[in-house]
Amino acid sequence: MSETATAIDVRTMFKQLGIGEINHGTSTGRQTSGEGELISSFSPVDGQLIGKVTTTTPAEYEQVIATAQNAYTTWRNMPAPKRGEIVRQFGNQLRELKEPLGMLVSYEMGKSYQEGLGEVQEMIDICDFAVGLSRQLYGLTMHSERPGHRMYEQYHPLGVVGIISAFNFPVAVWSWNSALAWVCGDTCIWKASEKAPLCSVACQNIFRKVLEDNDLPEGISCIVNGDYKVGEMMTTDERVPLISATGSTRMGRIVGATVAQRFGKSLLELGGNNAIIVTPNADLKMTTIGAVFGAVGTCGQRCTSTRRLIIHESIYNQVKDQLLSAYGQLRIGNPLDQNNHIGPLIDTDAVNTYLKAIEAVKEQGGSFIVEGGVLEGEGYESGCYVKPCIAEVKNEFAIVQAETFAPILYLIKYTDLDEAIAMQNGVKQGLSSAIMTTNMREAEQFLSCGGSDCGIANVNIGTSGAEIGGAFGGEKETGGGRESGSDAWKVYMRRQTNTINYSHDLPLAQGIKFDF
């Protein structure tokens, strides 16, 4: 794809998503001039300025909260299936705008266009899931010990939900939260990453049109812009009962402690240090595909990216040779060109982190079988394109114990499966894990209570690429949160136990006598 063709496509994309060449305001994503400082969004693809948004000021934040609270009083009283109908319409809008929104994700964040389309498809999928869920917000009935009594539980919406998302999935993670929160009766305030703010503006434009078409208040969905200071406005705000935050473990420690101090709820999706165990019984073709996509997809900037490949010593050299062959075929370049596998890192700060990690590997005794480095020359002018690399290391290296958001894959040798599982679990993060084996006993051992300690454990697929039907999240320093499918909807609601006495007496529980 030529530079000229890319520029034309980007302009068309902006028009389709309602993004003009002016500043973008705060609450609803409308194109207005706010009072805060400007945030400039530069594409890592070509280094070009995409657009600017205004940082939300404290006064503007108060307006956003008031808008969301006012909308909540209307939204919570709307029957859940009717709320689901609004989400259904939003999903249909996403279907119509899948290509331009996927292109914006690719251009602003740097992931491949195919991955950008996949991210929008996740949004569509969670909308479908939420529509069905809107008719299944179930409670339980229980038998009372007292005659003439009935007990049951029900769920009510929480109120205003605050969503803090990261740059690597600039639209999907927001939709995981918002689609479920909406059908549960909550309104949402979204602070997107300051590294990809225009994606939030585009999503807000799309949903706002659905609200307008249905004569519903705009405060059902709001956005705020800015850095951690804007996030602090939400995390310290008692009017926001739930904060869902995706990002680094360092960020999660701050958010979790702050929200807990005011007895709020937090849903944390934090770091990952994910491993694939490769046993002698593995299908090596499947292993190579899963490992390579897991390691280089989104240029290694997924929380589920494969960081460690723990390989049995008997097949270690065979797996290494296949990886060397696969890495030799990878194409790095403009992610809007579908011939390329890998786009850039998000910015030059990420490049510096990548380079420091490479030096740390060498200093700690590792060696590279595929060398890394920054790409230069035509097509790489942004300075954000790097080479995916592979290093032979030991699991206990400090750099291996840390999460590095970059395409660096660590190879580690093991002798028996117990040792491999101990290595897999021997990090502070606990998000995603996988084993490659055709042996049922090995697979079941990996999935048992003494196996993987991660929130996600896969057999014969990689660590990256979760479906929305299952709850997504992890343990340990990953934060313990669960988003997306299964019964993750319960975090967006408050549980209430009800007891109804339809008798003519008032017997007390536990047979207590209280006569007078």
**CA pair distance 431, 436, nearest whole angstrom:** 17
**CA pair distance 414, 396, nearest whole angstrom:** 13
Q: Is 299 an annotated catalytic residue?
A: no
What is the biggest distance separating any 2 CA atoms in the chain, rounded to whole angstroms?
91
**CA pair distance 80, 179, nearest whole angstrom:** 12
Q: Is 376 an annotated catalytic residue?
A: no
Burial class of residue 99 (count of CB atoms within 10 Å of its CB; 0-12, 13-18, 19+): middle
**CA pair distance 265, 243, nearest whole angstrom:** 6
- Count Cα atoms within 13 angstroms, Cβ side, for 452: 26
CA pseudo-torsion sign 105, 106, 107, 108: positive
Minimal CA–CA distance to 392: which of 423, 355, 429, 366? 366
- Contact between 260 and 266 under an 8 Å Cβ cutoff? The reply is yes
- Contact between 57 and 25 under an 8 Å Cβ cutoff? The reply is no
Using H for helix, E for strand and C for coil, what is the string for 219-270?
HHEEEECCCHHHHHHHHCCCCCCEEEEECCHHHHHHHHHHHHHCCCEEEEEC
Active-site option among 303, 384, 389, 454: 303
**CA pair distance 238, 103, nearest whole angstrom:** 37
Active-site option among 269, 403, 442, 483: 269
Using H for helix, E for strand and C for coil, what is the string for 319-381?
HHHHHHHHHCCCCECCCCCCCCCECCCCCHHHHHHHHHHHHHHHHCCCEEEECCCECCCCCCC
CA pseudo-torsion sign 23, 91, 99, 195: positive
Residue 164 CB neighbour total at 10 angstroms: 27
**CA pair distance 355, 109, nearest whole angstrom:** 20
Residue 324 CB neighbour total at 10 angstroms: 12
**CA pair distance 110, 343, nearest whole angstrom:** 6
CA distances (Å), origin 412, targets 95, 111, 320, 447: 42, 28, 11, 21
**CA pair distance 119, 101, nearest whole angstrom:** 9
Query: To 5 degrees, how large is the angle CA 483–CA 486–CA 492?
Result: 50
Residues serving a catalytic function are: 269, 303
